[in-house]
Amino acid sequence: LLLETKLHQALKQDRLELHYQPKIDLKTDSVIGMEALLRWYDPELGHIPPDRFIPFAEDCGLINDIGVWVLRKACAQARQWNESHELLLRVAVNISPIHISTGGFVDMVRGVIAETGIDPHLLEIEITEMSMLDYTEDLIDTIKHLRELGITISLDDFGTGYSSLNYLKKFPVDVLKIDRAFVRDIVPEKSGIAMISAMISLAHALNLQVVAEGVEEEAELNVLREHGCEYVQGYYFSKPLSVGDFTNLIVNTV
Ligand code: G
Ligand code: G
Ligand code: NA
Ligand code: MN
C-alpha cells in the first residue's frame, strides 16, 4: 500500500520522468525516432525500475493513468523537438495490454493527439506479445482504428513469450521488435544467427519492418545489417537519455 500511495503521488505531482532511447535507421545510420521509457525516483526508495513498478501499477489499477500521462508527455516532447529542430522523429510509447484493452482507448489517444498537435504518423505504440495472449476482436478493432489514425503499431519483446505464428497473422501490426535475448545470442558459430535471420525473414514475409533491441556490439550490428534488419536500438548507439541529453544528441548529430 505504501508503494501504491507513493506511485499515485509521483504521478499526480509530475515526478515521474521519461527517458528516450534513439532508434537508428540502418540504411542511413541516422536517428529516426526514440522510445520513451519511464523512470521513477523516490527520495526515500531511490530509483525504482519500471520492471518493478509497471507490473505493480497493472495490479493496483494505476496503469491506465500512467499510460495517459506517458502518452501526453511523450507526444508533447516529440512535437517540441521536431518543431525546434525541424525534424521528423517518431516517438514510441509502451502501452500496457490492460490499458489498450480498456474501452475508450482510441478516443483518449485521439484527444492527446489533438491536444499536443503531434502528427499521428510520428507516433508509435508498442504493445508486448503478452497482449496477444487473451486477445479479443475488440482489441483487434482498437489496433485497426489506431492504424487508421496514422499511428504505427509495433509488437514488442517478440520471441519471448506467446509468439504463436497464428496470433501474428491475426494482429494488424507494422513493426516487429526482436527481443534483446535473441540479439545477445548473435555470436559466430552459434545458432543465434540462424534464429535472427529466420525472425527477420518471417517479419518481411508478413510485410512487417524489423527493429532489433539491445544491440551492444558491432558484430551484432553487422549480422543484423547483413540480414536486412531496418532499425536498431541499443547501448552500442545510446542508452535511454534524459530530455537534456537527448536534446544534445539531436543538436550534435541529427
Ligand atoms: O527502461 P527499462 O529497460 O528499465 O524498462 C524495462 C521495461 O519496463 C521495459 O521493457 C518496458 O516493458 C517497461 N516500461 C518502461 N517504460 C514503460 C512505460 O512507459 N509504459 C509501460 N507500460 N511499460 C514501460
Ligand atoms: O521491454 P522493452 O523492450 O520496452 O525494454 C527496453 C529496455 O531495454 C529499456 O528499459 C532499456 O533500458 C533496455 N535496453 C536498451 N538498450 C539496451 C541494451 O543495449 N542492452 C541492454 N541490456 N538493455 C537495453
Ligand atoms: Na518497448
Ligand atoms: Mn522490448
Query: Is residue 203 included in any domain, yes or no?
Result: no
Note the pLDDT of residue 85.
96
Per-residue pLDDT at 107: 98
52's CB contacts (< 8 A; 6+ apart) are: none
Q: What is the pLDDT of residue 162?
A: 63
Q: What's the 13 CA to ligand 3 centre distance in angstroms?
A: 25
Rounded distance between C-alpha atoms, residue 221 and residue 212, angstroms? 9
233: in domain: no
Mean predicted confidence (pLDDT) in 55-74:
97
ipTM of the complex: 0.96
Pocket of ligand 1 (CB under 6 A): 37-38, 49-51, 54, 70, 94-96, 240
On the 0-12 / 13-18 / 19+ scale of CB atoms within 10 A, 207 is exposed
Q: Which tens digits make up the pLDDT trace of 132-158?
A: 777 888 999 999 999 999 999 999 988
Q: Which amino acid is at 233?
A: Q
Number of compact structural domains in the chain: 1
Q: What is the mean pLDDT of residues 249-253?
A: 90
Report the separation in Å between the CA atom of 136 and the middle of ligand 4, taken as the mean of its atom positions: 22
Query: Average pLDDT, stretch 222-249?
Result: 97
Question: Does the pLDDT at position 254 exceed 70?
Answer: no
Compute the C-alpha angle 98/99/102, nearest 5°: 90
pLDDT at 195: 92
Model pTM score: 0.96
Q: Rounded CA gap, 125 and 182, in Å?
A: 22
Which atom of ligand 2 is nearest the CA belonging to 35?
A: 4
pLDDT tens-digit readout, 76-135: 999 999 999 999 999 999 999 999 999 999 999 999 999 999 999 999 999 988 777 778
> Among 48, 51, 235, which residue has the most ligand 1 atoms within 8 Å of its CB, making it the best to mutate?
51
Instruction: Determine, yes or no, domain membership for 196.
Output: no
Say how many Å lie between the CA of residue 44 and the centre of ligand 3: 27
Kindly compute the dihedral angle of the four CA atoms of residues 61, 132, 69, 104, in this order, to the nearest 10 degrees: -80
CATH code at position 149: 3.20.20.450
Range of the domain at 64: 2-178
174 in a structural domain:
yes
Give the β-pairing of 152-158 and 90-94. Answer: unpaired
Neighbours of ion ligand 4 (CB under 5 A): 156-157
